[in-house]
Amino acid sequence: MQNLCIPVLILTLVCVPTVIGVIETVYDIEPEFERADYLPRLSDVCMRSVMPHEGETVMDNTILAAQAIHATRLDWVYPYTNTAWVEKIRAAGLDIQPTLNANMSDEPGGDTWDKGRMVDVHGNKITAPWMTWEGTNWGCCSTDGWREAWMAWAKYYADLKPSSFQHDDQRMNGHAVLWKPGKAGPNNTGPGCFCDDCVRGFSKFLAEKGKVFSLEEHKFIRRADETAPIPFFDIKQYVLEHVKDQNLRQAPEELRKEFELFQQQSVRQFLAECRKELNEYAGRYIPISCNGIPAVEGTPMDTFDFGIRELSYPNASPAYLYDIFRKSAQTGKAQIFTMPKPHDRAGVTDWDKEYPHLKHLVRKCIASSYAFGGHMMVPWDIYMPRDNPRYFGKPEDYAYLFKMIRENAALFDGYAAANTCGYEIPPRDDNKPAPVAIQGGSGKVCAAVRVQPGKPDAPAVIHVVEWDEQNTKPLEITLNKSSFKSGGEELEIDVIFNDKQEETAFAVTQKSDTCTVSLPAVETWAIITVK
């Protein structure tokens, strides 16, 4: 006999819609933001190829892998000046997203890193602590030289006519100011920047705020004469003479915070001005994503159009994914995650053998990301922490999920979240009846209701995602009829299963006020359509 576990599962609005009056059906939602046309389509399958791969198999050839796994676009790519490869990508029907970063060479195809580079208090060029190779000196957003280099690369990529750019290490000066002192040399880690432009800019920044820093008292002081000119303050000289080990973390706290704020504002101004110039050059708006989560992170991530972020192992959960995609919808942004990444050890030689549960987790995250209105990248050519080898997933392990997305693109594009319930999803805070409830199953099932707002003639969809790996069981999804049709008429139900689903028989029981869909144990993900 089936063991029925019937938790109290009440739905939570994913988009937090703006509601006018009482919601009569799930279609009566009005998302706060219309999804911009330039964002990735909800049915897009995003894949990474950090650099061109042109081998003979799906494991070492970008185009073959993309075709095998149903990718529609390549994101976060470094094509550099390999325009021939870009043309091959285009000929294969793929969009490509070139990447800007904080350490581009002085010009496309160049091998110098001199223009407007960040320096420490000794004048040494600096780079990020995790960049252990040469040719990585970061540019300073306060300099004309870095602006020239950034614009040269941006214009070069704009001429390739991509739909968008990615920007890696987008915090630039705002990040470098936090680094610990490093050794002089090609991989000196700063902190910075203490170039002449930053020194002058910071002094002006303080003057405009009316702040005077006392070299004797090592703190900001009130001016005796508010009309007197504010003296020039040389942050570099102060750090050299008064800060232990030239470590900004040892500087007076208020001074350090002001310098951090100055560097952050320099980055915001740099990006705003450069993006304006780029759009004028291209004759169109070029959306740019960042290596971050614009919906919840601070400056400058909030200035970008969407985010592409690595997902850590601890955050690979329905609760986290639901929360981020909900907040992204609230702010009109889009979010893409990479596969979840173990951080616990180095020296991995075989991901499948050493992390046997990894594929399972990746599949659940892929299904949940799309069910909650986001994206998860194809797990191919993915950076892994602690100098471990990049992850190249086999198409046979993941393609069936992306195939289901592409074959049912019309059930993703144009849809918005109405309600979500189930495993790890927080309950809603009102007393309205839930459109759906889950009975039975493993106890680790999520159900996400998505609709085309204001279009009751379009089918509603209920994404059913199974998070349990070993104890999957048959379950029932019970629909409140009045939530889908105001008159409570019978509902037309169909179920879409993925190719790995062995048992596909389902039953529908219609009652006066409810409709129950009885499902077999779900292999990762099924989609119920409701008309």
Maximum CA extent, the chain: 87
The distance in angstroms from the start CA to the end CA of the chain is 32
* 3 pLDDT above the threshold of 60: no
β-bridge partners, 99: 166
Mean pLDDT of the chain: 92
For the chain, give the number of residues. Answer: 531
Q: How far is CA 117 from the centre of its chain?
A: 28
- pLDDT for residue 68: 98
Q: Element (H or E) spanning 235, and its range?
A: helix 235-242
- At residue 49 the predicted structure's pLDDT band, cuts being 50, 70 and 90, is very high
* 487 pLDDT above the threshold of 60: yes
pLDDT tens, 349-404?
A: 999 999 999 999 999 999 999 999 999 999 999 999 998 999 999 999 999 999 99
Angle at 219 between CA 213 and CA 223, to 5 degrees: 50
Which runs of consecutive H residues, i.e. helices, occur in 12-96? Answer: 62-69, 83-91
> How many other CB atoms are there within 10 angstroms of residue 224's CB atom?
7
CA quadruple 295, 296, 298, 301: dihedral sign: negative
- pLDDT for residue 291: 98
Which two tokens mark 355? 């992390």
pLDDT tens, 192-247?
A: 999 999 999 999 999 999 999 999 999 999 988 888 899 999 999 999 999 998 99
Domains and CATH numbers, the chain: 45-81+292-413 (no CATH), 101-289 (no CATH), 415-530 (2.60.40.1180)
- pLDDT for residue 489: 85
Q: What share of the chain is helix, strand, coil (3-state, %, to 5)?
A: 30, 20, 50
Residues whose CB is less than 8 angstroms from the CB of residue 159 and which lie 6 or more positions away in sequence, other chains included: none
- pLDDT for residue 409: 98
Q: For the chain, what percent of residues have pLDDT higher than 70?
A: 94
Which CA distances in Å does 142 have to 148, 152, 190?
A: 12, 17, 16
Q: Which residue has the higher pLDDT, 14 or 405?
A: 405
β-bridge partners, 485: none
- At residue 73 the predicted structure's pLDDT band, cuts being 50, 70 and 90, is very high
- At residue 20 the predicted structure's pLDDT band, cuts being 50, 70 and 90, is very low
- At residue 134 the predicted structure's pLDDT band, cuts being 50, 70 and 90, is confident
- pLDDT for residue 506: 98
Which two tokens mark 228? 């007197």
Q: Which of 387, 400, 360, 356 is nearest to 130 (CA)?
A: 387
Which runs of consecutive H residues, i.e. helices, occur in 103-167? Answer: 144-158
Which CA distances in Å does 198 have to 141, 202, 341?
A: 9, 6, 37
> What does DSSP assign to residue 497?
E
- pLDDT for residue 432: 72
Which CA distances in Å does 251 have to 198, 236, 248?
A: 17, 12, 5
63 backbone φψ class: left, alpha, beta (φ>0; ψ -120 to 50): alpha
198 backbone φψ class: left, alpha, beta (φ>0; ψ -120 to 50): alpha
What backbone torsions phi and psi does residue 495 show, to the nearest 5 degrees?
-130, 130
Cβ proximity of 423 and 444 under 8 Å: yes
pLDDT (mean) for 32-61:
94
Question: Cα separation of 366 and 358, whole Å?
Answer: 12
Q: Which residue has the higher pLDDT, 98 or 35?
A: 98
Cβ proximity of 382 and 390 under 8 Å: yes
- At residue 32 the predicted structure's pLDDT band, cuts being 50, 70 and 90, is low
Q: Which residue has the higher pLDDT, 145 or 33?
A: 145
The pTM of the full predicted model, rounded to 2 decimals, is 0.92
> How many other CB atoms are there within 10 angstroms of residue 53's CB atom?
18
- pLDDT for residue 185: 59
* 126 pLDDT above the threshold of 50: yes
Residues whose CB is less than 8 angstroms from the CB of residue 279 and which lie 6 or more positions away in sequence, other chains included: 285, 286
- pLDDT for residue 130: 87
Q: Which long-range contacts (CB under 8 A, 24 or more apart) does 31-36 make?
A: 31/329, 31/416, 31/453, 32/329, 32/330, 32/332, 33/329, 33/330, 33/331, 33/332, 34/332, 35/332, 35/334, 35/416, 36/287, 36/305, 36/332
Question: Cα separation of 25 and 107, whole Å?
Answer: 56
pLDDT tens, 433-472?
A: 789 999 999 999 999 999 999 999 999 999 999 999 999 9
* 479 pLDDT above the threshold of 80: yes
What backbone torsions phi and psi does residue 445 show, to the nearest 5 degrees?
-110, 140
3-state DSSP of 258-293? HHHHHHHHHHHHHHHHHHHHHHHHHCCCCCEEECCC
pLDDT tens, 303-351?
A: 999 999 999 999 999 999 999 999 999 999 999 999 999 988 899 999 9
pLDDT tens, 244-298?
A: 989 999 999 999 999 999 999 999 999 999 999 999 999 999 999 999 999 999 9
- Residue whose tokens read 């951090």: 260
3-state DSSP of 308-343? EEEEEHHHCCHHHHHHHHHHHHHCCCEEEEEEEECC
- pLDDT for residue 29: 82
pLDDT tens, 417-432?
A: 999 999 999 987 666 7
Cβ proximity of 42 and 475 under 8 Å: no
* 47 pLDDT above the threshold of 90: yes
Q: Which of 150, 126, 151 is nearest to 138 (CA)?
A: 126
* 16 pLDDT above the threshold of 80: no
